[in-house]
Structure 1
Amino acid sequence: MSVAKVLEISASSTVSSDDAVKQGIAKAAETVHGITAAWVQDTQVVVENSKVTEWRVNLKITFVLE
């Protein structure tokens, strides 16, 4: 039997929302082992001078407990 836990994090990128997701998962993987899935719960953008300057995502990351 395995038991999983869900961790909620926020990540941002000046490149894209996809990059924010990748950076968030990579950073979480530095201390959380056994990540099996991630769900993008929410996406926001920062707008300056009518241009998107930053993407922000809220992620729910699932990992299996050892």
Structure 2
Amino acid sequence: MAVLKVIEILANSDKSWEDATKKAVSHASKSVKNIRSVYIKEQSAGVKDGEVTEFRVNVKITFEVK
């Protein structure tokens, strides 16, 4: 039986929600090992002068505790 833990991370990108998600996983993987999955809980965007300037994600990252 595996023991799994879930952490919640906020990340942003000026390119896309996909890039923000990749950044969240990349950053988390520096200190968390055995990442199994990522769940996008929320997406939002920053807007300035009628243009989207920033993509934000709130993700849940699941990893195995050894």
TM-score range, shorter chain: over 0.9
Deviation sequence 1:5-49 (CA, Å, 0-9, x none): 000000000011100000000000000000000000000000000
Cα distance in 2 for partners of 1:46, 1:16 equals 11
Tell me which stretches of 4 or more aligned residues in structure 1 moved more than 3 Å: none
Cα distance in 2 for partners of 1:16, 1:38 equals 16
| Structure 1: runs of 5 or more not aligned | none
In the alignment, structure 1 residue 60 sits paired with structure 2 residue 39: no
TM-score, scaled relative to structure 2: 0.98
TM-score, scaled relative to structure 1: 0.98
| Structure 2: runs of 5 or more not aligned | none
> Across the two proteins, how many residue pairs are aligned to each other?
66
